[in-house]
Amino acid sequence: MPLVAHTNLPTFQRLHEEGEEILSADRASHQSIRELHIGLLNIMPDAALEATERQFFRLVGACNQIAQFHVHPFTIDGLERGPEALAHIHQYYESFEQIKRDGLDALIISGANVTHAHLQDEDFWQPLTEVFEWAKQNVTSILCSCLATHALIQNCYGIERTRLPAKRWGVYSHKVVDRTHPLIAEINTRFDVPHSRFNEVFQADLERHGVKVLVASEQAGVHLAVSPDGFRIVFFQGHPEYDDISLLKEYKREVLRFYRHEREDYPPFPEHYFDSKAEALLNAYAVKVHQAKAQGSVLEAMPEDQIIPYLDNTWRDSAKAVFNNWLGKVYQITNEDRNLPFMAGIDPENPLGL
């Protein structure tokens, strides 16, 4: 059921213009439908801050449970922000203190960019772990994306991620490992997922600590896993929330970094993402980039409008199905009185009754 525009966050208007069903707060107040309150801890850098909002809001809004979805974006200290992003956060985001006072049914934590080899050395590590500890005791289920997955796995199980020889970057085929888990009910047994990361946590390490792997790829590793109880923490190592153009935008940023002498090598294509026609356009553009860099001249814009028609989204349906199953279980097991302790009346060792 629909998202509720309970604030003036521009993402609501943007999604409405894309055809998403968005309820006004007034209209929602006149419906006898239960609310679900979902936090979005957005720790992505400024360039991806609002896009990340839209991506996760879309997946939540696509769920067909009989509920009104109130999504509450917030962030934490320790992240470098420019004036524009700070103004957006100040105007539209809630504070963590407000989140704790009002309570949540579920929490989504986005990925992030890092600057240190070890996550515990990041300025945002302490604020992030404070959110983790609160959520583990007060929220029915936490869903983590990429960097958040690595951070929470380290926090919970002491498993540090491993640096890969090269960036894991592209769209990869995945296969369902455990077909019995409710999170992957009615989902294709094989589907694609985008990845974009320099580090990895491995299946053997996760399983050694009782983490249940549900979806994995021979080439890209684990994508979807859950905490030993089966539901309280959901781990995504990939990016099912990505739009079809997300990897194109990342590739463009890397090309511009090469042009500005911020990286020495010209970026390779994300794997299994561009088709031959898109690659031909981008190879022609690469010649212009090298020339402009060598001559110190102004670089013409990347021909994105010509490339986008050749991009396919081969992961959205499976992502919607997993989110639908996730929020369906949250809906079923969340006690309506959010002032009660975590999952009151529910066995915390087996919240799904498996």
Choose among 246, 252, 309: nearest CA to 286: 252
Q: Give CA torsion, residues 226, 232, 235, 236, to 10 deg.
A: 110
Angle between helices 83-92 and 49-61 (to 10 degrees): 40
Instruction: Extract the runs of DSSP E, i.e. beta strands, from the chain.
Output: 3-5, 22-24, 35-41, 68-74, 106-109, 141-145, 162-176, 190-200, 212-217, 221-226, 233-236
Output the CA–CA distances (angstroms, integers) from residue 292 to 280, 288, 352, in the order listed: 19, 6, 58
How far, in Å, CA of 72 to CA of 119, rounded? 25
How far, in Å, CA of 105 to CA of 331, rounded? 8
Length of the chain: 354
How far, in Å, CA of 91 to CA of 79, rounded? 17
The strand pairing partners of 107, in sequence order, are: 39, 142
How far, in Å, CA of 137 to CA of 246, rounded? 34
| Helix (H/G/I), strand (E/B), else coil: 93 | coil
Catalytic residue positions? 146, 239, 241
| Helix (H/G/I), strand (E/B), else coil: 235 | strand
Output the CA–CA distances (angstroms, integers) from residue 256 to 4, 24, 85, 134, 316, in the order listed: 38, 40, 21, 40, 28
How far, in Å, CA of 85 to CA of 90, rounded? 8
Q: What is the CA radius of gyration of the chain?
A: 21
Burial 321-350 (b: 16+ CB within 10 A, else e): bbbbbbbbbbbebbeeeeeeeebeebeeee
